[in-house]
Structure 1
Amino acid sequence: MTNTITIMPETNATTLFVHLHDTISVDDYIQFFDTPVRAIQQKNGWYNLLVYYDRDFKGWSEQAAALSFKCITDIGSTARRLAYVSPPDQRILLMKMMRPIIKAETRYFNLEDLDDAIAWMQAYRPETR
């Protein structure tokens, strides 16, 4: 079985970069998305996230979708910067509906703008407190 989520090499201590393929399985969601993003959030008190939807992306398994929604409600309010590359229309709608919870700076990029999305994420400098 191939992974439905790939952690991209740009991932660092504050930002998770993921590439989604096919139909997201619950096991891949937990291992390659939920666990890493929660670890970043726990360490920093906040996180950044880039999600790159491959052309072959079909959606989420029912269980993975439920876990994703739980993650959004649990830690979505601590996101600082979110980038979505080639997201399906449903994701854009969901993120707009979640605006009361997620206050992060959010941008949507076309597939051909992946490099720009990565650069935008890497340019983030957290304010000092």
Structure 2
Amino acid sequence: MAGQSLRVALLNPCFWPEVRRGSERFARELADGLIGRGHRPTLITSHPGRFAITEEDRLNVIRLPRPPDGRLLRRGYEDHMTHAPLSYLLLRLMRFDIAHALFSSDAVAAARWAKATGRPAVYSNMGVPERPELVRRRRRLELLE
């Protein structure tokens, strides 16, 4: 794929303007670098509103509706797990060359997509990968294995 323009799916459950922290900023900067090198990134994210597609400074952003996750959170599960099935569905519907997840729930979607399509998936952990943090939520370690 050297010299070829890649269709890159970037996955993160939140994005600007709703949240402006580490992984959101990382996603934007990574997208800018990819765009600058001639690739075509698309950010797949979620928000509390309806399905929306926008172009923000040459980055295609697809915002999926975020299903409620209160019950899962109260039971100690990972944040944004309800977002993963919709991210996976969108990955399957669109033709990406690679998926790069920036959150553990999106990593599940990307890994399943990679297994189903034979295309590569990457997960960048934006958190602290130390055991006390990894076991803070139910099944987080299992998600990352």
Bigger helix fraction: 1
The structure with more radius of gyration: 2
Q: TM-score, normalised on structure 2?
A: 0.36
